[in-house]
Structure formats: C-alpha cells, structure tokens
C-alpha cells in the first residue's frame, strides 16, 4: 500500500510541476526499453485524438451489447466474460508472466492496483447499467474526471469549454426526473447511482494508473496493460465466475461474451494507451467529455434509448466544450531542456 501511495503522490507532484512550467524529471519504469516498439510507432502514425475517438466509440459500444446479455448470462457473469476474454487474448501478445518477472516490486504493485481497479470498475459499471440508462452512467463517469481536467487546463478558454461541457452533462443527468421517482423505482435508481458513482471514482484511478504505465511509450504501456489485465482476471474470478459458468453450455453465449471483451476492453484500453502515450493527463481527462455524447448515440442505436430534445442539447453542449478546449502542452523533461540550452 505504501508503494501505491508513493506512486500516486509522485505522479501528481511531477504532473503539477510540469503544468507550472518547472522542469520535471519524468520517471521511467524499470526495464522499459523505450518507446521503440510497434505500438509506439502506431501511436505516432496518427493524431492521438483519433485513437481517443476509437476508444470513445468502443467504450460504450461493447457495454451496450453487454446489456443485451444481462438477462441470459447475468450482470456479473458478463463482467467476468469481459475481463477473462480480454486477459486471454492479451496473454500470448503481451506475455504478462514475463512482464511480472522483469518488473520491480513497485511496478508489480502498480500492475496489481490497476488490475484490481479494472475488475471492480467493470463490475460496478455493469451493475449501474443494469439499473440506469447508459447516458446517465456515462455522465456520472465523466463527473469524476472534473478534478483532473481542472488540474492542468487553467485558461479562460478552457474554463469556458469546461462550462459548456458541465452544463451539457447536467442536462444529460436530468436530476428533476430522477428525484421525481418514488418507491422501489427510487431505491433501484439510488442503488444504480451508487454503482455508477463507484465506477466513476475508479475511472479516475484508471486514468491515473493508465498514464503511469504508459510512461515508457505505447508499446511498453500495452505490455503492462496485459499484466494488469491478468491481475484483473484473478480479481474478478470470485465476483462473476459462478454466473458465467451457466453460459458455457451455449456456445453462442460464450462467443458473445468474448465479443463483449474485445469491444469493451481489448480495443478501447489499447487505444487509450496509444492516446495516453502522447496526451497530457488533463487533456485526456477533458476529452472524456465526449463519452456522454457517444454513450447517448450508442444507447439510441443499440438499446433504443431514444434521447429527447434536452438530451440532444446536452450532447451538443458537451461536444462544443471539447471543440473549444485547448490541450495543455506536454511537459518537457529536464534533460531535454539541458540539451537545448
């Protein structure tokens, strides 16, 4: 636990120094060969916002398909399939056993922390989706990133962009309708809000730890993501295995569960690493304002959760905020500054 606390504390310190134009000394995780792998080259081939856009689509496309499986597989069973299938696909590509073997004790704790975060975050996310519209869960998920966005984007233009985004998210939440519910419906909504809030808090932790493992470049980040996904697979075993076992007699359900894992974890998390390797954490966090918009659109197409006029206005305001905002510059390592003086 002390290792994890020191990781988070040093990460915030280094980021704050970078955003205040001091010379940061960006740490490199042990055994990181540098950003020379295929994933790093792929990350640099297109703008990081493209990778984020792909992630934003699949971030809710996979869960939307997962909702359709809830009645036959169970909520936690689908969560198990999501993590298990992603971990098994990652394994031969990233060789997590080798990553764990070559890692320092500090790195192993980081992998375990990210793995535990992914396991509980995905489970709470699905428990929230079982009770709330996907657009509302997405809006609550975004609220958890406010602190990160404001941490590094302190300009008049970005405050204006943030105001657009936060108003749009508030419209998507539709608080008056939520408070008007009563009886069992209200209890169900409150329990759904609890799971959504837990998911949102863990999503912030995922952003922090995800940026931490991406510090060696996109290729190293994906390898470390594979190690974390293996840890997540171990953590999710007691949570969803029993429900998932009931689906093993139906090959179609097993294939559908694997598809959910590919769409929900494999594609978006890899794209996140490709984007995180080149975007400052604050800029990445602010771009997450796109998620309520993508969730609303995907919810309408896949789940027939048709948005009303207020929802559409919220989507437009969120997208306006993203269009107006200006990314923060990447911090320049101290050794680079020394060479340029």
| SS3 annotation, the chain | CHHHHHHHHHHHHHHHHHHCCCCCCCCCCCCCCCCCCHHHHHHHHCCHHHHHHHHHHHHHHHHHHHHHHHHHHCHHHHHHHHHHHHHHHHHHHHCHHHHHHHCCHHHHHHHHHHHHHHHHHHHHHHHHHCCCCHHHHHHHHHHCCHHHHHHHCCCHHHHHHHHHHHHHHHHHHCHHHHHHCCHHHHHHHHHHHHHHHHHHHHHHHHHHHHHHHCCCCHHHHHHHHHHHHHHHHHHHHHHHHHHHHCCCCCHHHHHHHHHHHHHHHHHHHHHHHHHHCCCCHHHHHHHCCHHHHHHHHHHHHHCCCCCCHHHHHHHHHHHHHHHHCCCCCCCCCHHHHHHHC
Res 330 pLDDT > 70:
no
pTM of the predicted protein model: 0.76
How confident is the prediction for the chain on average, in pLDDT? 77
pLDDT (tens digit per residue) in 212-250: 887 766 567 788 889 999 999 999 999 999 999 989 989
Res 146 pLDDT > 70:
no
Are 230 and 87 in contact, with CB atoms under 8 Å apart? yes
The CA-CA-CA angle for residues 50, 55, 56, to 5°, reads: 95
Task: Identify the pLDDT of residue 93.
Answer: 87
Cα gap 217→138, rounded to integer Å: 28
HSE toward the beta carbon, residue 262, CA cutoff 13 A? 7
pLDDT (tens digit per residue) in 79-96: 999 999 999 998 998 899
CA 242 vs. chain centroid, Å, equals 26
Cα gap 253→72, rounded to integer Å: 8
Mean pLDDT score, 101-115: 92
Are 244 and 77 in contact, with CB atoms under 8 Å apart? yes
- Above pLDDT 70, what percent of the chain? 71
* Burial category of 204 from C-beta neighbours within 10 Å (exposed 0-12, middle 13-18, buried 19 and up): buried
Res 35 pLDDT > 70:
no
The domain locations on the chain are 38-332
Length of the chain: 341
Cα gap 73→189, rounded to integer Å: 22
pLDDT (tens digit per residue) in 158-206: 778 778 877 887 787 666 666 665 666 666 778 888 999 999 899 889 8
Question: Among 192-196, 310-314, 322-326, which stretch is predicted with the lowest mean pLDDT?
Answer: 322-326
How many other C-beta atoms lie within 10 A of the C-beta of residue 167?
Answer: 16
Question: Among 61-65, 137-141, 278-282, which stretch is predicted with the lowest mean pLDDT?
Answer: 278-282
Res 31 pLDDT > 60:
no
């Amino acid at each position: 636990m002390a290792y994890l606390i020191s990781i988070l504390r040093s990460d915030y310190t280094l980021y704050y120094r970078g955003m205040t134009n001091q010379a940061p000394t960006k740490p490199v995780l042990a055994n990181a060969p540098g950003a020379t792998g295929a994933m790093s080259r792929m990350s640099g081939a297109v703008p990081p916002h493209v990778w984020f856009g792909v992630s934003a689509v699949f971030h809710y496309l996979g869960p939307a398909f997962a909702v359709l499986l809830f009645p036959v597989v169970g909520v936690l069973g689908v969560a198990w399939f999501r993590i298990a299938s992603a971990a098994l696909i990652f394994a031969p590509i990233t060789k997590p056993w080798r990553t764990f073997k070559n890692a320092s004790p500090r790195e192993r704790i980081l992998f375990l922390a990210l793995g535990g975060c992914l396991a509980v975050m995905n489970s709470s996310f699905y428990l929230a989706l079982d009770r709330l519209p996907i657009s509302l869960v997405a809006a609550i998920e975004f609220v958890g990133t406010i602190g990160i966005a404001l941490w590094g984007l302190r300009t008049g233009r970005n405050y204006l962009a943030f105001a657009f985004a936060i108003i749009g998210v508030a419209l998507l939440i539709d608080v008056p309708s939520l408070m008007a519910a009563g009886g069992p419906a209200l209890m169900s909504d409150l329990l759904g809000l609890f799971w959504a809030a837990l998911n949102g808090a863990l999503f912030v932790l995922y952003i922090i730890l995800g940026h931490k493992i991406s510090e060696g470049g996109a290729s190293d980040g994906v390898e470390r993501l594979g190690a974390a996904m293996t840890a997540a697979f171990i953590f999710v075993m007691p949570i969803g295995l029993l429900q998932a076992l009931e689906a093993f007699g139906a090959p179609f359900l097993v294939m559908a569960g694997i598809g959910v894992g590919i769409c929900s974890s494999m594609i978006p998390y890899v794209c996140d690493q490709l984007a995180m390797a080149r975007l400052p954490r604050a800029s990445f966090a602010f771009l997450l304002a796109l998620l309520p918009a993508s969730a609303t659109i995907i919810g309408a197409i896949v789940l027939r959760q048709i948005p009303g006029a207020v929802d559409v206005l919220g989507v437009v305001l969120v997208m306006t905020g993203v269009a107006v905002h200006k990314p923060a510059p990447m911090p320049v390592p101290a050794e680079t500054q020394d060479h340029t003086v």
